Amino acid sequence: MRYLFFTNTPAHVHLYKYAVRELQAMGHDVLVLGRDYGCTTDLLEYYDLPHEIYGSCGTTKYSLFKSLPFHYVNIFRAVRRFKPDLIFGMGGYAAHAGAVSRTPVVLLLDSEPTSLDHVVSRPFAKAILTPHTFGKDLADNHYQFRGFKETAYLHPDVYEPSVDIRAELGLDPDEKFVVVRFNAFGSHHDVGHGGFTPERRRELIEMLGERATVFVLDESEERRDGDLDTRPFDFHPALVHDVLAEASLLVADTQTMVTEAALLGTPAIRSNSFVGDDDMGNFVELERQGLISNLKSFDDVMARAEELLADDGAKARWADKRDAFLADKVNLTDVIVQVALNYGSVERVDSLTRHTVPA
C-alpha cells in the first residue's frame, strides 16, 4: 500500500517517525509531506524519512494564513503524483488532501481548544483518534487510545537515549540543569493566548541561573534573554528528548514539551493562558498524576521552581510516578501501524475504543 503522512511541526515528525520506518520495512511505499516550520526539515533529514516540503511558515501570528493558498496548491500536486491509499495527519491539510483525492484520512488530534481545525477537518475523516483524556466527542467515527500522541515516541518500548547527553552538553555528571522553553504563540490556535512576558522571562532565568545551569529554547525568531547567563542550544534538535530526560526541571509556557518531560520522568512547570478551568485533558491528567504543575500565577511558578530545584530526591520520585503512569498506556506507534495495515478501519484495532466524553 501507499501511505502519506503530514508533519506540519517538529512534534509531528516524532509522532510518525517510527510508524513510517516500520511500514517501509514491511515493503510499503511511504511519503511524508512536511512544512518548513521550526526544525521540522532538520528532523526529517536527520531520521532519513522519505519526504517533500510543501511550504514554509514563520513563528509570527497570521504568517500561516498568508501561505495557505501556496501550501494547498503544492499539497494537492504532491498527492496527485503519489496517489496514496491512506492519509494520516492532524488537521485541515490532511483532511482536504483526502477529500480532493478521494483518499481515506485518519486524523490524530489531541487539543480540544483547536475547534477551527475540528470544524474544517472532521467531515472528511474516515477515523479520528484522540487520547483517552480528550474532553470532546467529535463524531461517530471518533475513537480513543490510552495514552498521548507523545507515547508514539516516548513510550518505554521505543525510547532510549541516543547519546551521552551530559558529555554532549559539557556538563559534570551531577550538575543540575534546567530547560526553559518559550513559545512564539504564532500558530492559528494560539491567537488570543500568551505566556511569559519579556520581563517575566528575564526574572525567571535570573532566579533559575542562581540555582542551576540554564538552557533556554526560545521559539521566537528573536531571543529576548539578552546578556543573561544561559547556555545556548547548540546541539541537533533531534537530541532534545535526551536533554529533557536528564534535566532536573523544565519550565515552559508551551505545550508539547511539557508532556514530553512528564513522560521522561522530569518535573515540569507549565504556565500560559490556556491553564484554567477549560484546560486540555492531557495536562489536567498529568497534573492529577503529580507529573506536572499547571500554574497561572508567576509567583507560584517561581516558588514551585525553587522548591523542585531544592529537592534532591525529585528526579527519582518522578521516574517512579512516570513508570506507574505509563504501565497501562499504549505504544501509539503500534496503534498507527495497525490502523494503517487495516486500511483505516479502526474498529479492527483492539487497542482503540469508541470515544465517550469523560464525566
* Residues 110, 32 within the same domain: yes
* Residues 137, 173 within the same domain: no
* Residues 184, 196 within the same domain: yes
Domain assignment present for 215: yes
Q: What is the C-alpha to C-alpha distance for residues 247 and 263, in angstroms, rounded to an integer?
A: 13
Give the CATH number for residue 12.
3.40.50.2000
Domain assignment present for 35: yes
Q: How many domains does the chain have?
A: 2
Per-residue 3-state assignment (H helix, E strand, C coil) for 143-210: EEECCCHHHHCCCCCCCCCCCCHHHHHCCCCCCCEEEEEECCCCCHHHCCCCCCCHHHHHHHHHHHHC
* Residues 16, 147 within the same domain: yes
Q: What is the C-alpha to C-alpha distance for residues 249 and 281, in angstroms, rounded to an integer?
A: 22
* Residues 206, 323 within the same domain: yes
| Range(s) of the domain holding residue 111 | 2-155+329-354
* Residues 340, 275 within the same domain: no
Q: 302, 308 in Cβ contact below 8 A?
A: no
pLDDT at position 40 is 96
Strand 142-145 relative to strand 353-354: parallel, antiparallel, unpaired? antiparallel
User: Can you give the pTM of this predicted structure?
Assistant: 0.91
pLDDT at position 193 is 46
Q: What is the C-alpha to C-alpha distance for residues 257 and 330, in angstroms, rounded to an integer?
A: 19
* Residues 342, 296 within the same domain: no
Q: What is the C-alpha to C-alpha distance for residues 306 and 296, in angstroms, rounded to an integer?
A: 16
pLDDT per residue, tens digit, the chain (359 aa), is 999 999 999 999 999 999 999 999 999 999 999 999 989 999 999 999 999 999 998 766 566 667 888 999 999 999 999 999 999 999 889 999 999 999 999 999 987 766 666 677 778 899 999 999 988 888 889 999 999 999 999 999 999 998 899 999 999 999 999 999 987 544 444 444 456 888 999 999 999 999 999 999 887 654 455 556 677 777 899 999 999 999 999 999 888 999 999 999 999 999 988 888 888 889 999 999 999 999 999 999 999 999 999 999 999 999 999 999 999 999 999 999 999 999 988 988 989 998 876 55
* Residues 323, 338 within the same domain: no
How far the first Cα of the chain sits from its last, in Å, is 40
Q: What is the C-alpha to C-alpha distance for residues 19 and 151, in angstroms, rounded to an integer?
A: 12
Q: What is the C-alpha to C-alpha distance for residues 233 and 87, in angstroms, rounded to an integer?
A: 34
Q: What is the C-alpha to C-alpha distance for residues 49 and 139, in angstroms, rounded to an integer?
A: 32
Domain assignment present for 134: yes
* Residues 26, 126 within the same domain: yes
* Residues 213, 124 within the same domain: no
Domain assignment present for 160: no
* Residues 63, 139 within the same domain: yes
Cα angle: 310, vertex 159, 230; to 5 degrees: 40
* Residues 216, 283 within the same domain: yes
Q: What is the C-alpha to C-alpha distance for residues 119 and 115, in angstroms, rounded to an integer?
A: 6
